[in-house]
Structure 1
Amino acid sequence: MDNAHLTRKQKEFFEYIVDYKKEYDVWPTYREIADHFGYRSPNSVTQNIQALLKKGYLIKRNDEEYDLPSEKKKTLLNESEEKDGIPIRGLIAAGYLQEAVEADLGSITMESLFPNLDKLFALRVSGFSMKDVNIYDGDLVLLMDDDVKNGDIGAVLYDGETSLKKIFWDQNGLRLEAANEDYDDIIVEPDVFEEVRIIGKYIGHINKQGFQRATAKVA
């Protein structure tokens, strides 16, 4: 999905069909769009729809009908987002006992839990080389597109293969250390160091018990 910027006319076209969808819960027909904009031919409607598809503002469903991408639906169609947040139901004392206060104080959203949400992505683990830090086969590791410090766990891409390891480097090169004694360290010599790409910094993982946040390193 490109999500490229729209031209002024494309933006007007997009806003019209979205507003129509919000009001009538169906998309406008080609004829209704043509009448609204004064197009003489349905080809003008097709060209605008194709532009929106190409720029990622619309998608094609399996039934060949167009629709909004899922990440745009809630924002543009005003769908409820309450289920996406954890409700804050009131206040609780952390000192002396006090009267319980129940109130609607909003909700905890993904953005609240992860301020850098736009930098996050997940990968599914295959293998057991990180089992000693409780990361197992099938878990989902949460990674951030951020700098990795010496000794951090991170995802790396090297020689066409990916791996989740503890990352160490010095004048002798790069060492990718497993958290399982059954696996040998991977040593990358200094002259090929630049071929290694750090994909992301590990910040936690998800398993059947829920979300497990990375343990902060002691300085």
Structure 2
Amino acid sequence: MQDRPKLTARQQQIFDLVRNAIESTGAPPTRAEIAAELGFKSANAAEEHLQALARKGMLELVGGTSRGIRLKSDALNAVNRARQTNLPIAAFAQLTLPLIGRVAAGAPILAQEHVEQTYNVEPSLFARKPDYLLKVKGMSMRDIGILDGDLLAVQSAKDA
């Protein structure tokens, strides 16, 4: 996506609400939560706006889950470019976590520890500081919103 698509004021409001919910809680809002926040009479109105945002490439709707809303990274980049704001001081106090392997969501796989990549993450997202990340492989946890390719933040422990 080169340029940011034109959004209606309501679509921008919903996009911002979804982005803020993900940033503050780590999860997108439900359609009912969007409807309640914006004063819609039903969750169907929220769904219609979400579908319009999906058609414009701003987000992806994942079926089968009430929180199945994913922001597209190119949409976030376009929004950030459009705002051209300075980073808050907190952005410089991020954690750098290594991605050290994969975790099975289905048939067990051997977790091999080697750093594949590192990610900077906001420390306030976690109650306790994680030590590393694992990438999910498989779809058996989709019912709780954990999908293939998601990253899980893990805190080391001697006993599981």
Q: Give TM-score, length-normalised by structure 1.
A: 0.31
The structure in which a higher percent of residues are helix is 2
TM-score normalised according to structure 2 size: 0.42
Q: Which has the larger radius of gyration?
A: 1
Which of 1 and 2 has higher RCO (CA within 8 Å, sep 6+)? Answer: 2
